[in-house]
Amino acid sequence: MSLYHRAVLKAQLLKHLLRIPSDRQLALLLKSGDINRFSSDKRLVAWAGLAPGVRQSGDKTVHGRITKEGNRLVRWVMVQAAQTARLHDERFRESYERYSRRKGHQKAVIAVAHEMLRIVYFMLKRNEVYRGGSCDLSLRKLNRLERVTLVV
């Protein structure tokens, strides 16, 4: 089975979590490749460039911005998904509001993207669907996608 076909099957799992067009889901999956190549969720987040930067010298440790050393496309897809999720998913809305009160809008969106990418890792690793979120929105999106595929 080709990498594209495996990515299409995995995209079915991500349909409920990401709430973004399927072409962006496929881009995320095709860029990341086989999820088993990452030994942990932290490795995937670091690969995407959404990990917080840490600078150390001697006894001093400085925690800073995200590293941005990873894949730009994956980081962009996850930030766009976080923008949508903060509006439509209760779990991510709460996370966003908690972070935005302390750190502001942009850092809160990045924190939600980080959290979502960790969830993506475990969903793909365990072949599970997303168990949180609004079922109503997911059903409306699935119905719209079915209508579009019937027209085409």
Kindly list the averaged pLDDT for each block of 10 residues, start to end, along the chain of length 152.
Answer: 68 69 70 83 90 87 82 86 87 92 93 91 83 64 70 58
Per-residue pLDDT at 97: 95
So where are the chain's domains? 3-151
Per-residue pLDDT at 30: 66
Per-residue pLDDT at 29: 73
* Backbone torsions φ then ψ of 130, nearest 5 degrees: -70, 130
DSSP code string of 39-107? SSHHHHHHHHT-SEEEEEETTEEEEEEE---S-HHHHHHHHHHHHHHHHH-HHHHHHHHHHHHHH-HHH
Per-residue pLDDT at 139: 66
Per-residue pLDDT at 106: 92
Distance CA(14)–CA(16), nearest Å, equals 6
pTM above 0.85, yes or no: no
